A and B are shown apart, each in its own frame.
Chain A
Amino acid sequence: DQQVKQNSPSLSVQEGRISILNCDYTNSMFDYFLWYKKYPAEGPTFLISISSIKDKNEDGRFTVFLNKSAKHLSLHIVPSQPGDSAVYFCAASVDNAGNMLTFGGGTRLMVKP
């Protein structure tokens, strides 16, 4: 039973346009959400997070939106750059200590020049 799902395995976007990566979850106890970015042959790197008390968090070109009633979050990248091409993982935890993160399956983003 996948508690965190990323239903799009891949996404292709033109450079300069917006990339929108989606994530759905089923566990209503999840309280803290994160996005990680992963390049080939490297470990994931933390990108941005959001607590359930917020519905939006912004960091430069990256914005995460949380819709708790729909159990849905999304990551917006504006403008997209070729260097953003990577696999993006959504993750969730029942608290902001995050000892037991549950990951989605990832979405491969390809930004075309």
Chain B
Amino acid sequence: NAGVTQTPKFRILKIGQSMTLQCAQDMNHNYMYWYRQDPGMGLKLIYYSVGAGITDKGEVPNGYNVSRSTTEDFPLRLELAAPSQTSVYFCASSFTGVGQAFFGQGTRLTVV
């Protein structure tokens, strides 16, 4: 049972480039989330989804887009990378709400 899988684990982007962070879960969870964690800070919610076809903004959605076409996958898209998006990104999923969410291992993104 893989749980929540994030790819890639590390990435360096140039300013203005775009990329998609992948997230997949095999637990049949309805809820999925994307967080970012800046150095020395707590996690901040970027976007979340309560089921396939439904997404909503979190606390820091600017510069990101998401889609949820299946229960399993919840990709996060960065269209025009900026240095302020340098962070560690965590995807999470839960059955009834993030109270006991399962997190992926994270993607460390550096924008130069």
* Residues of chain A having any CB pair with chain B under 8 Å: 4, 6, 9, 32, 34, 41-46, 49, 89, 91, 93, 95-106
State the CA gap A42–B3 with chains docked (Å).
Answer: 13
Report A-chain residues with C-beta under 8 Å of the C-beta of B40.
9, 105-106
Interface of A is mostly: loop
Interchain CB contact under 8 A, A99 and B105:
no
Q: Does B66 make an interface contact (CB < 8 A)?
A: no
State the CA gap A102–B35 with chains docked (Å).
Answer: 11
Report A-chain residues with C-beta under 8 Å of the C-beta of B59.
100, 102
Interface size class of B (residues with CB under 8 A): 20 to 34
Q: Does B74 make an interface contact (CB < 8 A)?
A: no
* Residues of chain B having any CB pair with chain A under 8 Å: 4, 31, 40-45, 48, 50, 58-59, 90, 92, 94, 96-106
Q: How far is the CB of A60 from chain B (nearest CB, A)?
A: 16
Can you give 15 contacting A-B residue pairs, CB < 8 Å?
A4-B42, A6-B42, A34-B100, A49-B99, A93-B99, A97-B99, A98-B94, A98-B98, A99-B98, A100-B45, A100-B58, A101-B43, A103-B42, A105-B40, A105-B41
Report A-chain residues with C-beta under 8 Å of the C-beta of B104.
43
Nearest 3 Cβ contacts at the A-B interface = A43-B103, A103-B42, A97-B97
Interchain CB contact under 8 A, B43 and A44:
yes
Report B-chain residues with C-beta under 8 Å of the C-beta of A99.
31, 48, 50, 97-98
Report A-chain residues with C-beta under 8 Å of the C-beta of B98.
93, 97-99, 101
Report B-chain residues with C-beta under 8 Å of the C-beta of A9.
40
Report B-chain residues with C-beta under 8 Å of the C-beta of A95.
97
Residue of B nearest to A5 (CB): B42
Residue of B nearest to A6 (CB): B42
